[in-house]
C-alpha cells in the first residue's frame, strides 16, 4: 500500500511535469534534488538525495573525482538506458553521487556563497567523452539555489540546453 508521503511526492512531481516509472519514496522537503540530462540519449531524470545523508557524508579528499565518475558511469548508463535502477543500485549510487557532488567546485562555490541557506538543486549534464573513445562520461555539474522543492521538468530542460550550448562554445574539446 502506498503511503501518504509517497502519494504527495508523486502528485507534486507530476504537477511539475515529471513522468517517472517510479517515484522516490522520500519527503521532498527533506531532500535535495539531482537532475540528469543525458545528451547521449536525450533523457531527463531526477533523483532525490536525503539532506541528512548529504550533510553527514564525509568526503575522502584523497580520492580523485575521476574515480567517482568511473564508479558513476555504469550506474548512469543503466539509469538512462530505459530500465532504471534497482533499489540496491539506488542505494549504491546515492553515496557515490553525494561524494561526487561534494567534491565539485560547483558545490564548493555554492557552500561558500550561500552557506547552506538556500535549497540546493543539482543539475548534471552528461556528455560522451569522445577523447576516451566514448567509454567514459563527462559530467557537467551546475548548482541552482531555489526555495522550490522540485524544479519544473520543462525548466530543467531549458537550463540544461543553455548549459549544453555554452559548453559546446567554451569547451569544444569535449565534443570532438
The predicted model scores a pTM of: 0.91
pLDDT digits (tens, 9 = 90+) for 30-78: 899 999 999 998 999 999 999 999 999 999 999 999 999 999 999 998 8
pLDDT digits (tens, 9 = 90+) for 26-43: 888 889 999 999 999 899
Q: Calculate the CA 174 to chain-centre distance.
A: 20
Q: CA gyration radius for the chain?
A: 16
Domain total of the chain: 1
pLDDT digits (tens, 9 = 90+) for 93-121: 999 999 999 999 988 888 887 766 778 89
The grid coordinates listed for 137 are: 562520461
- In this prediction, residue 140 carries a pLDDT of 95
Rounded-to-integer distance, Cα 37 and Cα 46, Å: 9
Range(s) of the domain holding residue 58: 4-174
Amino acid at each position: 500500500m502506498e503511503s501518504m508521503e509517497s502519494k504527495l511526492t508523486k502528485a507534486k512531481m507530476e504537477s511539475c511535469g515529471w513522468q517517472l516509472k517510479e517515484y522516490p519514496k522520500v519527503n521532498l522537503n527533506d531532500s535535495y534534488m539531482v537532475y540528469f540530462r543525458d545528451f547521449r540519449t536525450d533523457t531527463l531524470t531526477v533523483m532525490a538525495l536525503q539532506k541528512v545523508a548529504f550533510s553527514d557524508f564525509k568526503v575522502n579528499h584523497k580520492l580523485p573525482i575521476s574515480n567517482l565518475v568511473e564508479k558513476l558511469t555504469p550506474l548512469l548508463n543503466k539509469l538512462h538506458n530505459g530500465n532504471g535502477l534497482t533499489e540496491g543500485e539506488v542505494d549504491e549510487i546515492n553515496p557515490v553521487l553525494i561524494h561526487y557532488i561534494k567534491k565539485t567546485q560547483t558545490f564548493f562555490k555554492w557552500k561558500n556563497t550561500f552557506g547552506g541557506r538556500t535549497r540546493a538543486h543539482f543539475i548534471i549534464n552528461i556528455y560522451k567523452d569522445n577523447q576516451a573513445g566514448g567509454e567514459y562520461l563527462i559530467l557537467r555539474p551546475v548548482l541552482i539555489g531555489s526555495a522550490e522543492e522540485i524544479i519544473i521538468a520543462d525548466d530543467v530542460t531549458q537550463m540544461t540546453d543553455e548549459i549544453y550550448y555554452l559548453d559546446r562554445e567554451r569547451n569544444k574539446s569535449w565534443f570532438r
